Structure 1
Amino acid sequence: MSKVAAIIGGGVIGGGWAARFLLNGWDVRVFDPDPQAERKIGEVLANARHALPGLSDVALPEEGRLSFHGSIAEAVEGAAWIQESVPERLDLKHKTFAEIQAACGADAFIGSSTSGFKPSELQEGATNPGQIFVAHPFNPVYLLPLIEIVATPETPTERLEELRALLVGLGLYPLMVRKEIDAHIADRFLEAVWREALWLVKDGVATTEEIDNAIRYGFGIRWAQMGLFETYRVAGGEAGMKHFMAQFGPALKWPWTKLMDVPEFTDELVDLIAGQSDEQSGAYSIRQLERIRDDNLVAMMRALKAQDWGAGALLNAHDATLRAGTDLDGRAVDGLAPGAVVTLRRAVPPDWADYNGHMNEARYLDAFCAATDRFMELVGCDSDYIAAGMSYFTAETHIRHLGEVHLGQKIEVRTQMLLGEGKKLHLYHEMRAGEDLVATGEHFLLHVDLSTRRPCDPGPEVVTGLALVAAAQSDLTWPEGAGRAIRRPG
């Protein structure tokens, strides 16, 4: 399958789709009659380039090629995935699908970003109905992983599996909706909260800011990592969900909400809400708010990565996919090229930058620790080996800061083993940004029996791995700068 995506409609959602594909190595072809489309997508891409690499602990693929086209037919030519993101008018979507199908390949996927229409409605009058399905994303598409996939029986099961795998390869989470329903799944929840919020403002119970605070300081944080049912399962304590439902079930009969009763959108209500919202957020431009939002999302999801939970587990799985088949994958027994080994390749995320806009000095240690972990894995000291009771402990560390590394910049670490005999492991890392040597890290480690917490000789698999590295690096000279703080073996 060609890695070419066509984006039909380049607004906020279409631009987000373009960024998600482009930054994952796909070529992207855009059609949008708006004369400002190129500028608008360029601004979305600037934010995506700033934010998306920060979610990953592996460098993203080389960015694909972005092009703009004067017709739908020209844009969809050769595309494997076509994403329709035109305004929510069914007649316009039907016209758009007709133009797409007249020019695209029969095996191309045609997803719609619609938040409300059902796939059976989208497929009406189509020449190949099963080719069209709902692929409803959440803004910003380049950061949030959820994509609601809704199809009809017209779409073969094997095609659904193909599109699911394609989206997973982009770091997304395709939620395969079992039955088509108006507004799918997630927007039905959002609509319920939105209706209730409108009444709370109209009735003078709360302002827009107070409602936002109730969400972001309370249940919103819980929902972000555990969802609805699991949150309530925990609330039930040791007795579980049955206890929770028995305790709070009667409240469902109380007149707490007005979910089916919507306040009329009078000029007065619109002015009231718009005025409060402007007062709440008007100090920032939309582009500034997007950047703040993106940095907050990256920070939260990176925190979840450390726990391998929720969206964080999804990101860890995508990192593993990005590593697969690269020089950051595999073991020494699989074969090594001569020279220092690549042990880290990634972009500098927002939470690694300091007040000067460059990488905080503590993050150099983070990067070198990750490089050491990768080297340990390379020689056989992986998670299974550690779980069996042996590992390496760091005894000494020395870092030299030789140049600046800025937010978003791609760094690479190559590692030379200076000593790998018996209990001792002496590593020398060089960090480069492009061709520039920006830091070195020297680490002395001891192999330890975790049951006694005392040094011991490594197991045979690690001994073999160390010997293979030593052979591959036998022609390397002693690096300049090494041995200043950690004594050179001799």
Structure 2
Amino acid sequence: MTHTTASTTAFAPITRAACIGGGVIGGGWIARFLLAGIDVKVFDPHPDAQRIVGEVLANAERAYGLLTSVPLPPRGRLTFCATLEEAVRDAEWVQESVPERLDLKQRVLGEIDATCPAQALIGSSTSGLLPSELQTTLTHPERLFVAHPYNPVYLLPLVEIVGGRATAPATIARAKAVLDAIGMKGVVIAREIEAFVGDRLLEALWREALWLIKDDICDVETLDDVIRYSFGLRWAQMGLFQTYRIAGGEAGMRHFLAQFGPCLQWPWTKLTDVVDLDDALVEKIGAQSDEQAAGLSIRELERIRDENLVGILQALKTGHGDRGWGAGKLLGDFEARLAAQVAPAPALDITAPLELVETRVSPAWVDYNGHMTEHRYLQVFGDTTDALLRLIGVDIAYVQAGHSYYTVETHLRHLDEGKLGEELRSTCQIIAVDDKRLHVFYRLFAGPERREIATAEQMMLHVDTKAGRASPSPEPVMARLRPIALAHARLEPPAGAGGIPARRKETAAA
């Protein structure tokens, strides 16, 4: 994850959240909020709560380092509180993620409702309890709703939003807006029903899967293989009905229903028959699951899962003619909003190389040698280019209007190794500019001692992206570039520069 030194404007509609419960789901909510720049206060009486949340957050930061190179807002402040009241006192959104017991949730939600600010949103992570039942103990039930996410919350974007009988429509609209701002997909369920939509589908599949294992039709690994090598891949990007529409051929869904509808009358499944999870079946499934895991710990499996999800999301982001598809389009839209939120710093010292990027070597950036992977150096320099371009007015709106700078030549030098957790700072010195070219030199420093670990020299060309050819930079861009170029012309030429020879007409001050 990269943060430019330019200021970041307000990103989410809220700035303060409270999470009650920090387990698998609660920890995922905490990470999702924090990485969106939202301060989070946590209450969880579990003695290992801070360790568990810390491990979930570390995995989330690693995953985001793989997921996107777009600058994120500065990470929110994490605070662990001794009481529930302290955690929710100034929250704008309170997310309850305590164990799935109606009496417990009603008690906890009652305490939240009695203590949090009057305008705060209250979401419950319940996977199946009716919001109307959860509202019975509240003085202000109109602000409570179900916000049912999927694990890992920091990567999977879907949240089922379910209102109860007393939930105000404005509450649903506000919740959806917050989720949209933090890169999630709030899907409003029209009527409350036990287990909502997602878990009802999963329950049907799970019930049938248990019978297939109990009856020795297959083992757990075979069953998982059937899902992950076939329809699971289709579901990841088209869901159920759109997949079956294609299966109907040119005649579409109506033909599919006519052809396969009669199968629903055949006694294939045991969906209405509940399997007896006796000790023998539990041991059978547990032993097969242990064998399938092949010694991998839960944390190792989580990291493998996250890497695979990142790959799928990235593939979906670049699909459909680079317009994105499904969750990938959602990611692309989220990145575009992130980039648009970064504003130029109000005052930069242009008499020295510009300090444009601050970041840290995340776990996702480290290779098998324990050092920063080669392509991550180039990524940081690319982030520095983006920060420079925003500084001179070449932002998302400029690019969407049909112009940009393209890098046409790069010379990269690796001088030292970036180590896990080290702070990084990247500087930019303009070598020369003219109306079409921008010649820059970057230096990357690590640690508090500012150890120089890499340099990059780049030549960029201003292009008309619609015409597909070089074009002169407009005067507003040149007006921002000239003062920096003139100031940098007075600096000593950086050591290591010269990999890109000066071109005819190129001058330091243009």
SS in structure 1 at match of 2:280? helix
Measure, in 2, the Cα distance between the counterparts of 1:276 and 1:258: 22
Are 1:145 and 1:172, in contact at CA under 8 Å, matched by a contact in 2? yes
Of 433-442 and 268-277, deviating more is 433-442
1:191-236 deviations in Å (ceiling 9; x for gaps): 1110111111111111101111111222212212222222223334
Structure 2 unaligned blocks of 5 or more: 1-12
Measure, in 2, the Cα distance between the counterparts of 1:258 and 1:271: 22
Partner of 2:415: 402
2:105 to 83, 93, 116: 93
Q: 1:185 to 1:444 in 2, by over 3 A?
A: same
Identity of aligned residues (%): 50
How big is the shift at 1:64? Answer: 2.9
Q: Does the alignment pair 1:323 with 2:335?
A: no
SS in structure 2 at match of 1:123? helix
Q: Does the alignment pair 1:264 with 2:280?
A: no
Of 111-120 and 417-426, deviating more is 417-426
The one-letter code sitting in structure 1 at the alignment partner of 2:417 is: E
Partner of 2:455: 440
How big is the shift at 1:298? Answer: 2.5
The one-letter code sitting in structure 2 at the alignment partner of 1:311 is: A
Partner of 2:325: 309
TM-score between the two structures when normalised by the length of structure 1: 0.86
1:486 to 493, 500, 503: 500
Measure, in 2, the Cα distance between the counterparts of 1:482 and 1:422: 25
Partner of 1:222: 234
SS in structure 2 at match of 1:30? strand
Q: Does the alignment pair 1:426 with 2:442?
A: no
Measure, in 1, the Cα distance between the counterparts of 2:118 and 2:142: 10
Q: Give RMSD over aligned pairs.
A: 3.3
1:15-46 deviations in Å (ceiling 9; x for gaps): 22222223333332222232232332233223
Of 416-425 and 253-262, deviating more is 416-425
The one-letter code sitting in structure 1 at the alignment partner of 2:459 is: F
The one-letter code sitting in structure 2 at the alignment partner of 1:104 is: C
Are 2:91 and 2:120, in contact at CA under 8 Å, matched by a contact in 1? yes
How big is the shift at 1:354? Answer: 3.0
Q: 1:164 to 1:366 in 2, by over 3 A?
A: same
Measure, in 2, the Cα distance between the counterparts of 1:219 and 1:9: 34
Higher relative contact order (CA 8 A, sep 6+): 2
The one-letter code sitting in structure 2 at the alignment partner of 1:487 is: P
How big is the shift at 1:276? Answer: 0.8
Say how many residue pairs are matched: 483
How big is the shift at 1:442? Answer: 1.4
SS in structure 1 at match of 2:127? coil
Partner of 1:70: 82
Measure, in 2, the Cα distance between the counterparts of 1:376 and 1:104: 43
TM-score between the two structures when normalised by the length of structure 2: 0.83
How big is the shift at 1:430? Answer: 3.2
How big is the shift at 1:183? Answer: 0.4
The one-letter code sitting in structure 1 at the alignment partner of 2:433 is: G
SS in structure 2 at match of 1:162? helix
Measure, in 1, the Cα distance between the counterparts of 2:499 and 2:341: 36
Q: 1:63 to 1:335 in 2, by over 3 A?
A: closer
Partner of 2:214: 202
Of 79-88 and 353-362, deviating more is 353-362
Are 2:340 and 2:396, in contact at CA under 8 Å, matched by a contact in 1? no
Are 2:95 and 2:122, in contact at CA under 8 Å, matched by a contact in 1? yes
2:70 to 58, 66, 76: 58
How big is the shift at 1:450? Answer: 7.4
Partner of 2:38: 26
Of 212-221 and 471-480, deviating more is 471-480
Aligned counterparts, 1:157-306, within 5 A: 157-281=169-293, 283-306=295-318
The one-letter code sitting in structure 1 at the alignment partner of 2:171 is: R
How big is the shift at 1:480? Answer: 0.9
SS in structure 1 at match of 2:487? coil
Aligned counterparts, 1:135-150, within 5 A: 135-150=147-162
Are 2:17 and 2:91, in contact at CA under 8 Å, matched by a contact in 1? yes
Measure, in 2, the Cα distance between the counterparts of 1:111 and 1:452: 49
Measure, in 2, the Cα distance between the counterparts of 1:235 and 1:336: 58
How big is the shift at 1:142? Answer: 2.0
1:240-265 deviations in Å (ceiling 9; x for gaps): 33343344333333333222222222
Of 130-139 and 393-402, deviating more is 393-402
Of 199-208 and 320-329, deviating more is 320-329
Measure, in 2, the Cα distance between the counterparts of 1:23 and 1:160: 23
1:444-468 deviations in Å (ceiling 9; x for gaps): 3455677997x75x2462x541342
Measure, in 2, the Cα distance between the counterparts of 1:363 and 1:126: 50
Are 1:358 and 1:407, in contact at CA under 8 Å, matched by a contact in 2? yes
Of 426-435 and 140-149, deviating more is 426-435
The one-letter code sitting in structure 2 at the alignment partner of 1:400 is: R
2:368 to 352, 355, 371: 355
